[in-house]
Structure 1
């Protein structure tokens, strides 16, 4: 009987200890939760950053160092075979003229070769096949811009009867990238300061910058070129290379306050 009383008393003590521990744990946990809930809005308000996003543009003009000329030879004949044969003969003369003008083989690229039937039209009889035309077009890379007019004349004498355009460019755009990017960044800064001032704010710092690679905008010369053989007394062809424009854009995000 005494043993049972001791057992009951021990159980009561263990229950009391467990209840006390639970109350202590609850007392410790409750303040932590309340403190976190009170501080969360303050931490969130501190993370807000006001920004403006602007695009800066940079541009410089430089003298081109290369020209891309597109020459074409068109021949006509009664049959497709005869038309192609005549075209090949004239093209051989053009190749020799280009060699004489110190144009390298790797600087001549075929960009078009077409053989097409030709028709005449009559209201009574309808279309009638009259022959075939063959057109061979090549793009020539030429770096002696002062001698470009002479190249055009030599090509004409060799049988070229189409000049589809002259495009001026630079083979070294990387030489100008730093200059054009610096101008783009300065332009972005001027815009950002103007916007911030209008909004009664101040520029604090640059957050991010992204840039597009420098692009070359060449001058296109799509002038009509004489297709007939040059007369000995005629003036030489004169081609003016002018200048080309190199442009780049940057997108800058600024922090303001």
Structure 2
């Protein structure tokens, strides 16, 4: 009876960290939450750039935006990227007005914008593509997301580290209370996603960002909550 009370009290004490319902477990037990973390260097990236053109007519604005996108896409293809790595959004066309004081709004032209998203499998080429965008009429870099190609393998490493952490904690707790583990009773797991590196920068500073994304790191984390049985 004494061991049963000790085990239940220990399980309740750890309930807040694991989120498991101790009241539903009828055997002596303890609960632990294991965490694992893997730090990796990115080897690929996804970046988004855009062109915005304001012209007196809708047709002129559209043509200017389309020309910039076409030039940039053709350059990327010539440099060896596959068409599947390049996604260009439909054009957005909006009238632009001025608002003189005490007068009706006046149409001053049209703003056309298009966005291009590019997947880069060779991180060493990222800065070259960004420089090319400037030369082809692209006038905004929205974001750069650094990623790792073999994400599943690193996620598995983080998961196994979390499992070992849960076991180590359980063994330490049981030993400290003079108890022994008797297998796993319940596992609670929710997949964790890696934390991507997002970068935003002005169009006049791609070279300053080059060293930043070359030296960046991605942290991949995982966590598992486990209920262990205790020997009677």
TM-score by length of 2: 0.78
2:123 to 126, 145, 149: 145
The alignment status of 1:238 with 2:216, answered yes or no, reads no
Which residue of 2 is the match for residue 51 of structure 1?
Answer: 29
Residue-by-residue CA offset, 1:142-180 (whole Å, 9 max, x unaligned): 112112111111111011101001101123212223321
Shift of 1:51: 2.1
Q: Find the aligned partners of 1:96 and 1:236 in 2 and give their Cα distance.
A: 26
1:220 paired with 2:192, answer no
Give the alignment partner of residue 72 of structure 2, picking from 94, 104, 108: 94
CA contact (8 A) 2:31 2:228 kept: yes
| Residue in structure 1 matched with residue 108 of structure 2 by the alignment | 130
When the two chains are superposed, the root-mean-square deviation of aligned CA atoms in Å is 2.5
Q: In the alignment, which residue of structure 1 is the partner of 2:182?
A: 204
Quote the residue 1:253 is aligned against: 227
Task: Evaluate the alpha carbon distance shift between residue 112 and residue 163 of structure 1 in structure 2; reply closer, same or farther with a 3 A threshold.
Answer: farther
Measure the CA separation in 2 of the matches of 1:244 and 1:118: 41
Q: Which residue of 2 aligns with 1:171?
A: 149
Q: Distance in 2 between matches of 1:58 and 1:69?
A: 29
Report if aligned partners of 2:201, 2:209 keep a CA contact under 8 Å in 1. no
Unpaired segments ≥5 residues, structure 1: 1-46
- CA–CA distance in structure 2, aligned partners of residues 215 and 127 of structure 1: 48
TM-score, structure 1 normalization = 0.71
Do the aligned residues in 2 keep the contact of 1:61 with 1:243 (CA within 8 Å)?
Answer: yes
Conserved? CA contact 2:65–2:114, under 8 Å: yes
Q: Map Cα deviations across residues 64-116 of structure 1 (whole Å, 9 max, x no partner).
A: 22100101011111121221111111111111221233221110112463111
Output the CA distance in 2 between the equivalents of 1:117 and 1:111: 19
- For structure 2, the residue ranges without an aligned partner over 5 or more in a row are 1-24
